Amino acid sequence: MTLRKLGSTGLSIGPLGLGSVNFSWLTDEPHSFAILDAAFERGVNLLDTSDNYNAGQSEALIGRWFAQGNGRREKTVLATKVYSAPMEWGSPDPVKRSGSWVGPNQKGLSAKHIREACEASLKRLNTDYIDLYQMHHVDRGTRWEEIWQAMEVLVAQGKVLYVGSSNFAGWHIAQANESARRRDFLGLASEQSVYNLMKRTVELEVLPACAAYGMAFLPYSPLAAGALGGAPKGNDKGRRAYVQKGEAVVAFEALCETLGRAPADVALAWLAHRPGVTAPIVGPRTLEQFEANLAAVEQPLEPDTLAELDRIFPGPGGPAPEAYAW
Residues serving a catalytic function are 53
Quick one: which H or E segment has residue 31? Answer: helix 29-42
Comparing CA positions, the residue from 207, 166, 174, 192 lying closest to residue 315 is 207
Q: How would you class 156 by CB atoms within 10 Å of its CB: exposed for 0-12, middle for 13-18, buried for 19 or more?
A: exposed
Residue 186 CA to residue 180 CA, distance in Å, equals: 7
Note whether 175 and 290 are within 8 A (CB).
no
Residue 278 CA to residue 6 CA, distance in Å, equals: 7
Strands (E), the chain: 4-5, 12-13, 17-19, 46-48, 77-82, 96-97, 100-101, 130-135, 160-166, 188-192, 216-217, 281-282
Angle at 25 between CA 19 and CA 28, to 5 degrees: 90
Dihedral sign from CA coordinates of 107, 108, 112, 117: positive
Residue 188 CB neighbour total at 10 angstroms: 24
Note whether 207 and 192 are within 8 A (CB).
no
Residue 149 CA to residue 295 CA, distance in Å, equals: 42
